[in-house]
């Protein structure tokens, strides 16, 4: 039987070891072992659709799948020791709750969602010809019983109009991250943007009450834990986009409408790859070259992020604001 003194010494030793381990684990950078790649929408949820005149009639779900599949292939090639998990690899219906479940059950260290933007379309019209329209005028002559109605037919040419949806002109790629509240002017907030959100807002099955204490608490917790990392990844993605010929529309934050991001317990970004209602972007997003270029740019950013997280630089004491700090 152990004496009291020996017991105390053992206990101190055990605590010492525990603190030592905790200290070590706090210093060991987190490894990025699992990356989740989500092709936005799918199946009966087509996402945005290009209905502008002269468009290819693209469905967002097909573009997101093509780019996500290329991104998965690229990451598997470049990061053979990292588990890459696609949420879907074919055209299946997949509610956002299912996407979040897959990400969480696989214990992802990063969640990357691929989407495409669409803008609200204005209606235009053009004259495509004329047709002859017959109309009549009526007058009366005479008085009393002799009063007589005279109807005279006339003809006139009227324009025949064709109505159509006008293509948009905005081009480029942006990245969205979730934040429970505005985080300063470093990142633009999305509320006042005219970008049309087709993403998670329309999923009525979610039935979110944005004013509920539960939503606010969860959203805040997500922001505290993952905002900086998500922003870092978003910035790296936009930097790589800027290195292609594509327009870099920057990193934006939102507190609503991107439910899936805050439902995942990991840093998460949603990439709006381009505008399917803008003909140049639509062609680019449908082309093998364009899809591959975007996939490679995102993969490069993820690899840089992984490297920076796993091999943080030693910071000078005053470097608290450095971006390497997370």
Give the count of residues interacting with Zn ion (CB under 5 A). Answer: 5
State which of positions 266-325 bind Zn ion (CB under 5 A): none
| CB-side neighbour CA atoms (13 Å) of 174 | 20
Q: Closest residue to Zn ion, Cβ-based? A: 115
**Beta pairing partners, 309:** none
Q: How far is the CB of 236 from Zn ion (least distance, A)?
A: 22
For residue 237 the two structure tokens come to 């993605």
**Beta pairing partners, 159:** 130
Binding of Zn ion by 58 (CB under 5 A): no
Q: How far is the CB of 55 from Zn ion (least distance, A)?
A: 17
Three-point CA angle 67, 70, 71, nearest 5°? 85
What are the φ and ψ backbone dihedral angles of 65, each rounded to 5 degrees? -65, -45
Which CA distances in Å does 36 have to 85, 86, 107, 282? 5, 6, 9, 25
Q: Using CB under 5 A, which of the segments 33-41, 155-163, 175-183, 218-226 binds Zn ion?
A: 33-41
Q: Which of 62, 167, 199, 230 binds Zn ion (CB under 5 A)?
A: 199
Gyration radius of the chain over CA positions: 29
Beta strands in 216-295 (DSSP E): 248-254, 268-275
Looking up tokens 């509610």 gives 95
Q: Using CB under 5 A, which of the segments 21-29, 44-52, 99-107, 183-191 binds Zn ion?
A: 44-52
Q: How far is the CB of 285 from Zn ion (least distance, A)?
A: 12
Q: Using CB under 5 A, which of the segments 24-32, 38-46, 121-129, 146-154 binds Zn ion?
A: 38-46
Residue pair 269/175 in contact by the 8 Å Cβ criterion: yes
Binding of Zn ion by 62 (CB under 5 A): no
Q: Give the number of other CB atoms < 10 A from CB of residue 206.
A: 14
Q: Using CB under 5 A, which of the segments 101-109, 188-196, 199-207, 245-253 binds Zn ion?
A: 199-207
Q: How far is the CB of 277 from Zn ion (least distance, A)?
A: 13
Q: How far is the CB of 259 from Zn ion (least distance, A)?
A: 12
Binding of Zn ion by 88 (CB under 5 A): no
Residue pair 258/191 in contact by the 8 Å Cβ criterion: no
Burial of 106 (0-12, 13-18, 19+ CB in 10 A): middle
Interface mask (CB under 5 A) for Zn ion, residues 112-141, using x and -?
---x--------------------------
Burial of 30 (0-12, 13-18, 19+ CB in 10 A): exposed
Binding of Zn ion by 87 (CB under 5 A): no
Q: How far is the CB of 253 from Zn ion (least distance, A)?
A: 17
Binding of Zn ion by 47 (CB under 5 A): yes
DSSP state of 32: -
Q: Which of 35, 37, 39, 40 binds Zn ion (CB under 5 A)?
A: 40
CB of 198 or CB of 282, closer to Zn ion: 198
Q: How far is the CB of 119 from Zn ion (least distance, A)?
A: 13
Chain residues that interact with Zn ion, rule: CB under 5 A: 40, 47, 115, 198-199
């Amino acid at each position: 039987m152990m004496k009291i003194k020996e017991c105390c010494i053992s206990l101190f030793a055990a605590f010492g070891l525990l603190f030592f381990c905790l200290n070590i684990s706090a210093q060991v950078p987190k490894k990025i072992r699992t990356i989740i790649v989500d092709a936005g929408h799918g199946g009966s949820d087509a996402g945005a659709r290009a209905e502008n005149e002269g468009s290819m009639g693209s469905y967002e779900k097909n573009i997101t799948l093509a780019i996500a599949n290329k991104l998965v292939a690229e990451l598997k090639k470049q990061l053979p020791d990292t588990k890459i998990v696609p949420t879907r690899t074919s055209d299946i219906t997949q509610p956002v709750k299912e996407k979040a479940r897959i990400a969480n059950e696989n214990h992802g260290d990063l969640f990357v969602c691929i989407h495409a933007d669409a803008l609200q379309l204005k209606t235009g019209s053009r004259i495509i010809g004329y047709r002859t329209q017959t109309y009549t005028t009526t007058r009366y002559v005479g008085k009393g019983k002799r009063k007589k109605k005279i109807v005279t037919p006339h003809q006139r040419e009227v324009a025949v109009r064709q109505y159509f949806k006008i293509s948009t002109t905005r081009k480029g790629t942006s990245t969205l991250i979730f934040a429970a509240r505005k985080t300063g002017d470093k990142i633009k907030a999305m509320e006042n943007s005219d970008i049309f959100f087709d993403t998670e807002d329309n999923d009525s099955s979610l039935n979110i009450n944005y004013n509920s204490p539960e939503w606010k608490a969860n959203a805040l917790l997500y922001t505290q834990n993952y905002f900086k990392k998500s922003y870092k990844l978003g910035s790296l993605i936009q930097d790589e986009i800027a290195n292609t010929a594509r327009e870099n529309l920057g990193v934006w934050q939102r507190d609503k409408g991107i439910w899936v991001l805050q439902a995942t317990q990991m840093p998460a970004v949603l990439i709006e790859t381009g505008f399917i209602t803008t003909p140049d972007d639509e062609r680019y997003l449908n082309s093998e070259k364009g899809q591959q270029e975007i996939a490679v740019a995102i993969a490069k950013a993820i690899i840089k992020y992984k490297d920076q997280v796993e091999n943080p630089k030693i910071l000078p004491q005053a470097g608290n604001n450095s971006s390497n700090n997370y």
